[in-house]
Amino acid sequence: MGGKPAPAEPDSATPQADEAAPPVSVAHAPSVTEVTPAATLKPMPAAPTPTPAQDDAPKLSWAQRLKQGLSRTREQFGKQLTSLFSRGGKIDADLYDELETILLTADVGVDATQYLLDALQARVKKDRLTDAHELQAALHQALCTLLEPLEQPLDVSTHKPYVIMMTGVNGAGKTTTIGKLAKYYQSQGKSVLLAAGDTFRAAAREQLMVWGERNNVAVIAQDGGDSAAVIFDAIAAAKARGIDIVLADTAGRLPTQLNLMEEIRKVKRVIQKAEASAPHEVLLVLDANTGQNAVTQVKAFDDALGVTGLVLTKLDGSAKGGVIAAIAKTRPHPIRFIGVGESLADLRPFIAREFVDALFEAPAT
């Protein structure tokens, strides 16, 4: 997971990103490629050709997938909590100390851990709780209260086309999430168009085009060239065709790569030229395995770009799902979706209570 090499310098790779050269002309450049299944011009039923990921997908309900996906976090967090509370006994300083350690090791972070401990102590006082057993329900409630403000599902009906720009570090899961989102919105009868805005690596364009072909989704791509121009072109195409949603891929980048952060700001400005109200959503994709580093990424991308929503991927491979609480406390942004696996069905809107329930409940059978 992750660890892919950083993209090349944007100056050499994006000669047309300069705003002085209007991207309109690039939109009609002969190098523009498009995979355009006729069916994409209207809302589509489920794709006729299943992807390998779909074939592999076990037949589980979402609640089961979520529980299964959160099993590592639950081992690290839920199970330890359950064993701490089920011992019973007095609520004392030792118990709070142990609880603090469990929360910190699950990447809940210092601020959110302090918040949760304070909330518990207040509850213990108010309700005169005396037994450790009673703390589990209180912690469950405190976590829900902390996470519920992040539960703000994306409303894509406000604009047409609704332009979603993906961003994040290398290997976070941006392109995979685009595939999952395209599927998710198609299943709701929305038409989708993809912009292969990761122009740094030819493989990234291919990844999206193969995906689009298999799933009957139009992909706007360009041989080499410039991310901003491809996305500009895609928005123009979506407007002309009455497409509901544009999902724009971008190359992975680290917040420390200042030239690349400047390049993505430029992409956003060019999107605004294609459609003044766009991008309607700047989605930062975070790999849950990065733990506390995810919080740093939220701050950096938000400062650079104005992030409007988050996707937390790879919760299935991670014991660090507690980072959601850290985000809630330090840089609260709506968590639009969470990913708990590689198959197309493994992405869903974030529901705080569902998430907290899955942390505490017994594993799916």
Ligand X SMILES: Nc1nc2c(ncn2[C@@H]2O[C@H](COP(=O)(O)OP(=O)(O)OP(=O)(O)O)[C@@H](O)[C@H]2O)c(=O)[nH]1
Q: Does residue 175 interact with Mg ion by CB under 5 A?
A: yes
What is the smallest separation between the CB atom of 250 and ligand X, expressed in angstroms? 8
Dihedral sign (CA 113, 337, 149, 360): negative
DSSP category for residue 15 = G
Q: Would you count residue 314 as binding ligand X (CB under 6 A)?
A: yes
- Check binding of 73 to Mg ion (CB under 5 A): no
Residue nearest to ligand X (CB): 252
CB-neighbour burial class of residue 49 (10 A; exposed 0-12, middle 13-18, buried 19+): exposed
Tokens of 98: 């142990």
C-beta of 115 vs 350, nearer to ligand X: 350
Three-state SS for 230? helix
With CB under 5 to 8 Å by kind, the binding choice for 334 among ligand X, Mg ion, none is none
Question: For residue 64, what are its two tokens?
Answer: 């089961």
Partner touching 314 among Mg ion, ligand X, none, CB below 5 to 8 Å by kind: ligand X
Residue 171 binds ligand X, judged by CB under 6 A:
yes
Binding string, 173-202, against ligand X, x = CB under 6 A?
A: xxxx---------------------x----
DSSP string, 16-42: GG-TTS-HHHHHT-TTEEEE--GGGGS
Q: Which one of residues 23, 109, 161, 339 is an interface residue with ligand X (CB under 6 A)?
A: 339
Minimum CB–partner distance for residue 198 and Mg ion (Å):
5
Q: Does 203 bind ligand X (CB under 6 A)?
A: no
Residue 341 in contact with ligand X, rule: CB under 6 A: yes
> Per CB under 6 A, does 313 bind ligand X?
yes
Please report how close the Cβ of residue 222 comes to Mg ion at its closest, in angstroms.
16
Three-state secondary structure string covering 260-323: HHHHHHHHHHHHHHHCCCCCCEEEEEEEHHHCCHHHHHHHHHHHHHCCCEEEEECHHHCCCCCH
**Residue 152: alpha-carbon gap to chain centroid:** 13
> Left, alpha or beta for 133 (phi > 0: left; psi -120 to 50: alpha)?
alpha
Residues that bind ligand X (CB under 6 A): 1, 4, 168, 170-176, 198, 204, 252, 285, 313-314, 316-317, 339-342, 346
